[in-house]
Amino acid sequence: MFILLALCCHNASGQAIDNDASGSFSQFLSEIEHQEEFQSSLSKQLAKKSDEGSTVTAAEELPLGELAKSEQAEEPSDDSDMLTLADVVASLYRSYPEITRIRQESRVADGQLLSAYGAYDTKLDAHSLSEPTGFYRNYRQGIGVARQTWWGGYLAAGYRIGRGSFQPWYKERQTDEAGEFKLGFSKPLLRGRAIDAQRVAVFQASLARQAAQPLVRKTILDSSLDAAAIYWQWVAAGAVLRAQTELLDLAEERGEQFKVGVDAGKFAEIDLILNQQLIAERRAKRLETEQKYRETSFKLSLFLRDENGQPMLPDDRWIPKHFPLIERPDLNSFASDYAAAISRRPETELIRFALRQTELDSQLARNDMLPQFDFVAEASQDIGPPATKSDDKSEFELVIGFQSEIPIQRRKARGKIQSTSAKIVQLNEKLRLVQDKIGAELRTAHNALVLSQQVVEQADISLRAATKTLELYRFAFERGKADLIYLNLVETKANETKIKLVESQRAWFVALAEMQYALGLDPLDQAMMVAELPPNEREGF
């Protein structure tokens, strides 16, 4: 049995939600330009947060050591002030530069398609040639239009006039006094009839335009997975910083008590010195933790952006105090999850588009193996008074026939067939490998999700036991039954257990994001469902 996440199937109230999120995903991509209401709402939410926060400037950060005090002094009024994963992903959809860059691929493809159709543009041709000196003096002018037809031939029509005296071997340049009208037509019968280079260019450009959308989806999936990992790392770093701050506060508070006790003669001075050592060690550990927290804040600002698209450093007051509630996922078969992932994941679509483009090159190469054999026709009619006494140009003239050409070795076509056939094999193997990787990603994410939940449960049990042990040791210490060294060890162990619980919850939500990525689900829909989960009120968090 395999999983299909409860978050993918049910909302917070338990109502069914369509598993196939690719529809809404595609709809978002196709209508992103028109979602003014969504962007306006998002801008208001981020503007509300930016009034309290800032863009990434060092001058506006809290000084080191002041984070915990600011959190205690300014507790958020409600959960709406917390930065959720949905806020980050929505900001990423709107302003992340990599996604904005990839969205331009559709315009690039449109330009390439328009350029490919340029091969069928109607061409205007004109000339004016004069030979004003010499024994044969003549003047020739002409104008015409021509265009290539979709089926490989061409059609041309024009008018020309030639006056003066012409060399006997150039008599075809001469026309009657009012000029000549001409119509030409060519039609391939073998090579170039079923397909030609111009049509291949149009087909491939059209495929490139269709491939732009899955390319955007792939970029959104990749960027959203990175954003989710950084977001949960940021939440965990904030929780660890609070835990280290609480541990430091205990030592500082105890230090004040020891100082009063030493002055009153109730405690030995060695206890005061040992506690001062503990304060220094815990303060150094807290500073290291704060450094990591700031680092994750800077990384998160790459994905969290203001209405102008500039990185926005998350405010310390936005950090959630609790992870969302972890729920046991529903189970489903691997086969159904795998089939759904293959149908949603854009990587397979992109390879299939590349495969179809290569197949077009192969078809063109096989067509080039055929001999060129074209039907040609040309009709002309001179008008006006005859230019010569023999009046040999006034009759309607028609030329019809065939033209043929073929390279004897045909090495160009044979080489192209060989290379395209090898490329098709390569792409098929690449497609097979990508499908295998998707299956491995599903299994890996499933394994991580199930086991990380068990780790969370065991870490929770361990924390409860460590908290109970700490309470007993504190009771004994207050009555002189335990010394400071043992109390410090127990406090440190309890703090480490609390941090392990934080890390296990972070690992579960990262595994959840990886599972959603492996299934190819819409990151924004999934992030919004995660944001709707109630907070996990575990002990100490």
pLDDT tens-digit series, residues 70-128: 444 444 445 567 899 999 999 999 999 999 999 999 999 999 999 999 999 999 999 99
Evaluate whether 139 touches 127 at the Cβ level (below 8 Å).
Answer: no
Structure tokens at 530: 């995660």
- Residue 313 CA to residue 316 CA, distance in Å, equals 9
- Residue 367 CA to residue 369 CA, distance in Å, equals 5
**Which sign does the torsion angle of CA 211, 214, 219, 222 carry?**
negative
**Cα end-to-end span (Å), the chain:** 33
| Nearest residue to 176 (alpha-carbon basis) of 20, 382, 36, 6 | 382
- Residue 468 CA to residue 45 CA, distance in Å, equals 42
Length of the chain: 541
| Nearest residue to 259 (alpha-carbon basis) of 274, 280, 248, 281 | 274
Using CA atoms, how far residue 473 sits from 137, 231, 490, in Å, is 120, 36, 8
- Residue 341 CA to residue 518 CA, distance in Å, equals 7
- Residue 484 CA to residue 248 CA, distance in Å, equals 15
User: Residue 371 carries which DSSP code?
Assistant: P
- Residue 77 CA to residue 162 CA, distance in Å, equals 92
The partner residues of 375 in beta bridges, in order of sequence, read: 187, 402
Chain CA centroid to CA 296, Å? 21
Which residues, 6+ apart, have CB-to-CB distance to 284 below 8 Å?
A: none
pLDDT value for 56: 40
pLDDT value for 477: 79
- Residue 206 CA to residue 213 CA, distance in Å, equals 12
Written as tens digits, the pLDDT of the chain (541 aa) is 333 333 443 333 333 333 343 444 444 444 444 444 444 444 445 444 444 444 443 333 444 344 444 444 444 445 567 899 999 999 999 999 999 999 999 999 999 999 999 999 999 999 999 999 888 999 999 999 999 999 999 999 999 999 888 888 888 888 888 899 999 999 999 999 999 999 999 999 999 999 999 999 999 999 999 999 999 999 999 999 999 998 898 888 877 877 877 777 766 778 788 878 888 998 999 999 999 999 999 999 999 998 888 999 999 999 998 899 887 767 678 899 999 999 999 999 999 999 999 999 999 999 999 999 999 999 999 998 888 878 888 889 999 999 999 889 899 999 999 999 999 999 999 999 999 999 999 999 999 999 999 999 999 999 999 989 988 888 887 777 777 778 888 888 888 999 999 999 999 999 999 999 999 999 999 999 998 888 886 654 5
Tokens 């060695």 belong to: 270
pLDDT value for 360: 96
- Residue 251 CA to residue 130 CA, distance in Å, equals 104
- Residue 283 CA to residue 489 CA, distance in Å, equals 16
Using CA atoms, how far residue 134 sits from 130, 235, 270, in Å, is 11, 92, 122
- Residue 514 CA to residue 394 CA, distance in Å, equals 81
Q: What is the 3-state secondary structure (H, E, C) of 53-103?
A: CEECCHHHCCCCCCHHHHHHHCCCCCHHHCCCHHHHHHHHHHHCHHHHHHH
Evaluate whether 205 touches 113 at the Cβ level (below 8 Å).
Answer: yes
Tokens 């691997």 belong to: 334
In terms of Cβ atoms closer than 10 Å to its own Cβ (0-12, 13-18, 19+), residue 300 is buried
Evaluate whether 424 touches 358 at the Cβ level (below 8 Å).
Answer: yes
pLDDT value for 331: 64
pLDDT value for 254: 78
Question: pLDDT tens across 255-309, in order?
Answer: 787 787 777 776 677 878 887 888 899 899 999 999 999 999 999 999 999 888 8
- Residue 47 CA to residue 97 CA, distance in Å, equals 19
- Residue 281 CA to residue 488 CA, distance in Å, equals 11
Ramachandran angles phi, psi of 291, nearest 5°: -60, -45
| 525 three-class SS | helix
Whole-model pTM above 0.75? yes
In the chain, how many H helices and how many E strands?
14, 10
| 151 three-class SS | coil
Tokens 């950060």 belong to: 61
- Residue 171 CA to residue 168 CA, distance in Å, equals 5
pLDDT value for 12: 35
- Residue 513 CA to residue 507 CA, distance in Å, equals 10
**Element holding 107 (H helix, E strand):** helix 105-117
| Nearest residue to 90 (alpha-carbon basis) of 29, 145, 42, 137 | 42
Q: Where are the domains of the chain?
A: 120-199+372-409
Largest CA distance in the chain: 142
Helix intervals (H) in 137-196: none
- Residue 298 CA to residue 273 CA, distance in Å, equals 38
- Residue 424 CA to residue 351 CA, distance in Å, equals 10
| Nearest residue to 538 (alpha-carbon basis) of 325, 327, 329, 328 | 325
Ramachandran angles phi, psi of 19, nearest 5°: -65, -35
- Residue 360: CB atoms within 10 A of its CB come to 19
| 398 three-class SS | strand
| Nearest residue to 144 (alpha-carbon basis) of 397, 380, 429, 445 | 380
Using DSSP bridges, classify how beta strands 138-148 and 312-313 pair: parallel, antiparallel or unpaired.
Answer: unpaired
Which residues, 6+ apart, have CB-to-CB distance to 279 below 8 Å?
A: 248, 251, 252, 255
